[in-house]
Each structure stands twice: as structure tokens, then as C-alpha cells.
Structure 1
Amino acid sequence: MDMDQFVEFLDDNKVIIGSAIGIGFGLILLKKYLAGGVCRSKARLDGKTVIVTGSNTGIGKETVRDLAKRGARIIMACRDMKRTEPAAEELRTDTGNKNIVVRKLDLASLKSVRSFAEEILKTESRIDILINNAGVMYCPYSKTADGFEMQFGTNHLGPFLLTNLLLDRIKDSAPARIVNVSSIGHSLANPLDLENLNSEKGYDPYEAYHRSKLLNILFTRELSRRLKGSGVTANSLHPGFVNTDLPRHFNKFLNFVMQPFMWLSLKDSRAGAQTSIYCAVAEELVGVSGKYFSDCAVKEEVKQARDDQLAKRLWEMSEEMVAKAK
């Protein structure tokens, strides 16, 4: 096709081409709208130390990127060192912050959690922000190193023990913040059966995940109550529906069918990290604790996630479980 033919083609099809361009811009604007809240805080974190679990990819990595640009010392707490070291080097180069360090942490092993905490307490004089970001989703039935169902152990017991082991150092660093990444999936959990936390009565990967996200919120609620007056706040959040590799165990056929809609309907990792960042740095959240956030705003959890007695009993049972796993 020569230039004259090309011009003629454009002229003959200008309505169709114009409509396609309009639809394209419309989709871009719609995607931007669907991305949700943005953290607009300009807070600096110079002299502050931040721990982010599961931070070599996805929203954890983007959380590190943002907080590193604010001047924080970042500890990337991850299981896979081969993936984490290159990610850390990329982030150092991108942010200009050389104070990004890597430490091994496998939340599916309480021995690893204890080893990590021991090292941190030996080497870090302060912990200003702890972001419990790491987790697994919809995985086939398997057990942690301590014999717990994988999603229960990794998404709840690991962060529960980690937070408690570091809690005195966090209190000493007050004002400080603890941020727990949960999910709107908590609203899909069945009424909580405390005798089935470890899937003793049968395993469903979707229910196990939704239950673990409910536990994140109940843990945060009881933690916040226990921290009252300490200068440390604890909040949980839903990051949004984010296009990461977390749901890799989701039905493969449905994943394939949904691919054309992924770009439009899902947040990218940067957008998905915004509420974590907001909870970590926003000036207006000083003293705000025990809340659940989505799109950088307080949202209401489902009724059972607001049950204080349930949260207290869960804490007590979790203490017993991690103690027995020594």
C-alpha cells in the first residue's frame, strides 16, 4: 500500500478508526478509575527502619520501592534469596537508596521466623514499620514445616509469631505502625469454626484462604487492643484485585478465559501497593488503630471480623499453637 492508498484508506474508514481510538482512550480512563485510591502523602522516612515481608515481587516490591524513595532503611524479608537479591539491587538502583537489605524469612517455618527475628533483634536498634505482606493463595493441600495447613500457617501463624517476637522492639521505636495485608476475601469466609483452623474437618483451598484473611483482621483487632497506649498502631487492609502471580493456583482454565479482561479489571502492582503505603505513612493515620482499609480509606469489615471475643480467643489459640511448635 503506497501513501496515497493509505490516505484513502484512512479517509474511507475515519469513523471506524475514530471510534476505535475513542474506545481505547475510554478503556485507559476506565482502568485508571478502577485502580482505586492513591496514597498522596509526602511523608519522609529518613532514619526509620521498615520490614516488608514477601517483598521481592508484586505489591510488596512496589511498597519497598515507594518507602525506599522516602529515605527509609528497608529490610526485605523473603523466602527465596535467588529472587530477592536481584530485586533488591534493582530497587537500590531505581530509588538511589543503598540502605535496602535482604534477610531470609520463610513464614511456612516457625523455626525460620524465630531465626529471622533473632537476627533482627541483634542487628536493628529500631523497627518503625512492620508490613506483613507475604502470603499464599488457593494452594493445593500441603503442610508447613510444623505440620500446619499451608495457608493457615503461612498467612496467619507465621505473621502472628513474627509480630509478637518483634513487638518489644517496635514498641521501643514508637510511634510505630504494624500493617497487615488481608483481603476482601475475608467476607467470603464461612462462620469461623475455631476447631477447624487447621482444616481438620476437610480441606477446601478457597475456604482456607478466605478464612486466613479473616484471621488477619481478627489478629489485627486484638493486637490493636493490646497495643492501646503504647504508641504503636495496627491496621489491616484489602489491596484490591491485583494482577500478580499470587493466584497462580486458581483454576487454570478460568485464568485462561479471563486473560483478556485482566488488563482492564485488575490493578497493577503499583496501584495494589497504595493502601499498604497509605497505612504505613499517612499523617492523618497517626493514632488510628484497629481499622480495616481499602483504596486508602476506612471500610467496614464483615460482622464476624468485628467480634472482639472471637479475636481474643483466636489470639490465645494461636499462642498455644506456636508455643507447641518450638
Structure 2
Amino acid sequence: MACRDLVRGEAAAEEIRRSTGNGNVVVRHLDLASLFSIRTFCSEVLQTEERVDVLVNNAGVMMCPKWLTEDGFEMQLAVNHLGHFLLTNLLLPKLKSSAPSRIITVSSIAHKGGVVDVEDLFFSRRSYTPLQSYRQSKLANILFTRHLAKRLTGSGVSCFCLHPGVIRTELGRHVHSSFPLLGALLSLPALLLMKTPHEGSQTSVYCAVTPGLESKSGAYFSDCAEKNPAPEAKDDETALKLWNESCKLVGLSRD
């Protein structure tokens, strides 16, 4: 378990150990808003783990103010896309040596209406809105998965992305300050219609363990079924440009 908050991460790990009887649950620190933290985490994993069979890219921030990371990146794109991009690429050697293996990246239905502006990913020249930034980052998740699947053809590593549903978690903590009316609505009985965290994890689990999905590498899922993403999520030209720019930003070779 890769967690930014080790105290809460260890508490969750202890609950898993207790409920499953599996004591082999390890918690390690990882802050996806920090390239240094990502590189440190990956170095430890590559040195200490014999295999990486499944990588689930599940961290995220939603609709926060325009914050910058320690590396000078806009927070939502940094955490939701660039952090996972670097993490995945650094762990690819171990994923390939563990093949057949899988990479699952949690996106959102919010990718619809999103625009990935490769020339202005951090909203330096265009007006920043928390929602548009979030949509861009979630669209980036799908474009990343789509291009990664092509690069991994024949490697034995499959990759998938998904919309988990609207879930009762703390992900929406910033919605109240950015969009008071929407925040009020989310505080009403509509909360009862949201998925529980257990329900919300099912599509991730489905993509991680269901036999025979290898032929669908690069696909987008929701409610444990393949779904058709928005047209902008099928733009291979933008996917390639995003890949190249992401490599530049995090210090990776394009090859």
C-alpha cells in the first residue's frame, strides 16, 4: 500500500490484516505530488520486491484551488496524471519481468468535456477553473492508458482505465469551497445514492483479476464492463503529444 499519510495507511493495513487474516500487507510512503517521493518509492520497490503483478493507480485530488507542487506543477494534473505516469514508467521493468501483469488507472466520467491542452497543461495562459483542470487530468488518464497499451503490445503487460462511480469518500472535500451550491447538494440525501467505498472498488478489482481481459488492453471500463469513452479520449495524436510532454516534465526518455 503506497500512502501519503502513513498513520492512516497503517490503520487501513491493520484493518485488512485483521479482516482477511493476511499479515503480509506492507505500507510505504508515497506522495504523488513529489517527483522525489515517487523516485524514492520506486527505488525501494525495485530493490525489495520480487514481483509486481498488479499496479493500481488510484490516488487523486479533485477540484482544488490552483495549487502548485514542490516541482512547480499544477496540483491536479501533477497528482492525477504526472505522478502516475512517472510511477508506472519506473515500475515497468518489474511489471514486465512479472508478466502477465496489469496496470489499472482510475479515471472518471468527468473526462467527458475535458480538454488536454499540451501547450498549457498548467493553466499558465488560460483561465484556471477547478472543474476544467480536473476534467483535463481525468482525460489525461485515459489518453495515457490508450498510448501505454500500444507501447506494451507483446510485453505481457496489460493496462486498463475506469470510472469507479460516484463514491462516498473525502475526494470531494474541495467541492464545497469551489462550488458551494454543488457542495450543498452533495451534503443532502443525494449522498445515499452514492456508492460505498467497497462498491466503488469493484471495477478496479474486476480489471485487476478477471481472466481473459488481455485482449482489451487500453480499454475503458465502468460498472465492471467495457464502456465507450468520450470521442476526445480516442485522440491518438493528442495521446502521443501528452506522452512526450509528460516524459519531458518528469525527466524520462521518450523511448
* TM-score of the superposed pair, with normalisation by structure 2: 0.94
1:40-189 correspondence runs (5 A): 76-189=1-114
Partner residue of 2:186 out of 258, 275, 284 = 258
1:295 is the counterpart of 2:219: no
For 1:203-258, what per-residue CA distance to the aligned partner results, in whole angstroms no more than 9, with x for missing partners?
A: 11110001000000000011000000001101100000111110110035432343
For 1:124-182, what per-residue CA distance to the aligned partner results, in whole angstroms no more than 9, with x for missing partners?
A: 01100000000100011111110000001111110000000000110000000000000
CA distance in 1, matches of 2:187, 2:212: 38
CA distance in 2, matches of 1:111, 1:193: 25
Tell me the matched-pair count.
248
1:315 is the counterpart of 2:243: yes
What is the letter of the counterpart of residue 91 of structure 1?
Answer: I
CA distance in 2, matches of 1:239, 1:86: 23
1:195 is the counterpart of 2:119: yes
- Unmatched tracts of structure 2, length 5 or more: none
Displacement of 1:283 in angstroms is 1.1
1:271 is the counterpart of 2:199: yes
Identify the residue that residue 172 of structure 2 maps to in structure 1: 247
CA distance in 2, matches of 1:260, 1:195: 40
Displacement of 1:96 in angstroms is 0.7
Q: Which one has the largest radius of gyration?
A: 1
1:27-42 correspondence runs (5 A): none
Identify the residue that residue 281 of structure 1 maps to in structure 2: 209
What is the letter of the counterpart of residue 11 of structure 2?
Answer: P
What is the letter of the counterpart of residue 52 of structure 2?
Answer: I
Displacement of 1:285 in angstroms is 1.3
1:306 is the counterpart of 2:220: no
CA distance in 2, matches of 1:176, 1:86: 28
CA contact under 8 A between 1:151 and 1:212: conserved in structure 2?
Answer: yes
CA contact under 8 A between 1:231 and 1:287: conserved in structure 2?
Answer: no
What percentage of aligned pairs have identical amino acids?
53
What is the letter of the counterpart of residue 163 of structure 1?
Answer: T
The 1:276/1:145 distance shift into structure 2, 3 A limit, reads same
- Unmatched tracts of structure 1, length 5 or more: 1-75
